Amino acid sequence: MSDDLVVGGGGSIAVATVTLFDQAQRLERLERNLDECVRSLGAMDAGAASRLPGTAVCRPALEQAERGIDDACALLGLAAVRSGYLAAGLQLSANVYGAGESALAALGERLAGDFAAGLGFLAARVGLVLAPGLLVAGSRAAFAHSVASTVAPHATRRGADAAERWLAGHRSILSDPRFVQFARVSIVSVDDLAAGAAGLPLPAVRMLGDDGLGVLGLDTTVGAVAAGASVFGALRETPVRAVPVSSAPSTRADGFADRAARVPSGSAQVRIDRYSAPGQPDRFELYLGGTADFSPMSGKEPWDLTSNISALSGEPSGAYRAVADALDQAGVEAQSPLVVTGYSQGGLVAAQLAASGNYDVRGLYTLGAPSGQVDVPRDVPWVAVEHTDDLVPALGGTWATADPVLVRREVFSDGPPPPELAAPAHAAEHYRATAALIDAANEDRLRKAAAEFGAVGRDAEQVESTWYRASRVP
């Protein structure tokens, strides 16, 4: 597994590995230290004549010392200049790479949208011509499958088993960073596909899309899917409620790894830490877990596929409403300082809380969250962690308007991922390992974000943790 983190965003165009940024900072420190040495030697040179006796015996030694000091100053000054050039070169390479990556991403998204619109237009027209033949072929295939299932059920079962084995053997493609990026761009192009199929000309598709008026986008596409599924009783939202299930004294969160470790993973989906100090208003940290139920039919669990779809469509999901209920019970008010950490679906909900404007969010920390399309204000400190071989964050599309400090890492860079899991890089344990690497990273944007997160609980004398269990109400 790779321990190399790539950091970008956060108001800077620089994108590079933590190692490169660390080397640039070391060279800048070296430049400052060398300059200080030059100044110190210069002061020694200026005071040498006054401190040493001016006899004829001492004069040659004094002149030799002065020449040595001058030579040392020249060499140290040259080393300082070269250190500064190297540091600037590394920073420039990070800026150039970041600008190039942004330009290529924008170009790729534009081309993908145009291609999807053209494909939709073509498919709709060809489909009208081929529809009768496709219906006949589909009917015959269904009849043949029905007969085969009755006459030779074992053969049908063997065919299904073979297909299942093939999918299991090729599951690693889902963890290929190239496929993940392809999926990310494709997802935000589905609205262009639909607009093209509806017969809209390409200029109109561009005007209505994400780069134009924003009328069409990932939220409208997902919303249409949810509306269609609700006709068949799937993906239907329900009322929710959150109930406190336990509480205990705790300590202040310390760093990214500690916050990642506090994300709930059991039956409780929400954890709220209250920071208290005499004479000060209470401050809070909120931790949200990931999806617990992937069934399209709503049951008792609000951290489900229905909430995922609702959130991606921009609607208040069951999970979001449950969190708002828990915050209200905990006494979190609009002006209460709040730091939010969320994993997977919990990260999506966390971003929506920060974007809502209903809470004073002083820090946002998301892990593997499909939150790229959430319009979080840029003045909210946000660290978003994504694994490049994790498909789940890509389901949120490309980064639209928000600009978090984006930390990326490829988990399975040294070999194939475990075949038994569909998204092994999405496992919480891998994100906790990445969080530990972030704590060890020497990068300015990450250090600044860590300080802003820690400021919320800095003077707390008492910390109380409360866990909440949310459920859907029939």
Query: For all residues of the chain together, what is the average pLDDT?
Result: 85
**Which position has the higher pLDDT, 116 or 297?**
297
**Which position has the higher pLDDT, 302 or 65?**
302
- Between CA 434 and CA 412 the distance in angstroms is 12
**Which position has the higher pLDDT, 2 or 316?**
316
Tokens representing residue 108 in the block: 């790729």
Give the count of beta carbons closer than 10 Å to the beta carbon of residue 239: 11
Which range is least confidently modeled, 30-44, 124-138, 194-208, 441-455? 124-138
CA distances from 229 to 222, 223, 232, 297, 298 (A): 10, 10, 5, 10, 12
Please give the pLDDT value at position 409: 96
Pairing mode, if any, of strands 270-276 and 283-288?
Answer: antiparallel
Which range is least confidently modeled, 58-72, 249-263, 331-345? 58-72
Name the band, by pLDDT with cuts 50, 70 and 90, for residue 461. Answer: very high
User: In this model, does residue 454 exceed pLDDT 80?
Assistant: yes
User: In this model, does residue 447 exceed pLDDT 90?
Assistant: yes
Please give the pLDDT value at position 127: 59
Tokens representing residue 117 in the block: 């619109």
- Backbone phi and psi for residue 470, each to the nearest 5 degrees, phi listed first: -100, 150
Please give the pLDDT value at position 47: 64
Tokens representing residue 95 in the block: 């800026």
Highest mean pLDDT among 69-83, 190-204, 315-329: 315-329
Sorted by where each begins, the domain ranges of the chain are 19-106, 109-230, 240-415+423-472
Position 40, amino acid: S
Please give the pLDDT value at position 243: 97
Compute the half-sphere exposure of residue 2: CA atoms within 13 Å on the CB side of its CA.
20
- Between CA 291 and CA 133 the distance in angstroms is 42
Please give the pLDDT value at position 365: 98
Q: Using alpha carbons, select from 228, 218, 336 the residue that is nearest to residue 274.
A: 336
CA distances from 296 to 218, 269, 303 (A): 19, 19, 12
Q: What is the mean pLDDT of residues 447-459?
A: 95
Highest mean pLDDT among 114-118, 380-384, 420-424: 380-384
Residue % of the chain over a pLDDT of 70: 82
pLDDT digits (tens, 9 = 90+) for 84-140: 889 899 888 888 887 888 787 777 777 777 777 677 677 776 655 555 664 555 565
Residues 6+ apart with CB under 8 A from 324: 353, 358
User: In this model, does residue 235 exceed pLDDT 80?
Assistant: yes
Spatial strand order of the sheet with 360-367 comes to 12-17, 6-9, 405-409, 382-387, 360-367, 337-343, 283-288, 270-276, 462-472, 240-249
Classify residue 224 by burial, with Cβ atoms within 10 Å: 0-12, 13-18, 19+: middle
Q: What is the mean pLDDT of residues 325-339?
A: 97
Q: What is the mean pLDDT of residues 187-215?
A: 70
Decide if 416 contacts 389 (C-beta within 8 A): no
CA distances from 160 to 145, 170, 230 (A): 12, 15, 29
Give the relative orientation of helices 190-197 and 218-230 as an angle to the nearest 10 degrees. Answer: 70
Q: What is the mean pLDDT of residues 280-285?
A: 96
Pairing mode, if any, of strands 240-249 and 270-276?
Answer: unpaired
Please give the pLDDT value at position 195: 72
- Between CA 434 and CA 389 the distance in angstroms is 13
Please give the pLDDT value at position 133: 61
Give the count of beta carbons closer than 10 Å to the beta carbon of residue 429: 9
User: In this model, does residue 66 exceed pLDDT 90?
Assistant: no
**Which position has the higher pLDDT, 392 or 314?**
392
The per-residue b/e assignment along 345-378, b for 16 or more CB within 10 angstroms, e otherwise, is: bbbbbbbbbbbeeebbbbbbbbbbbbbbbbebee
Q: Is the dihedral of CA 298, 303, 308, 314 positive or negative?
A: positive
Name the band, by pLDDT with cuts 50, 70 and 90, for residue 470. Answer: very high
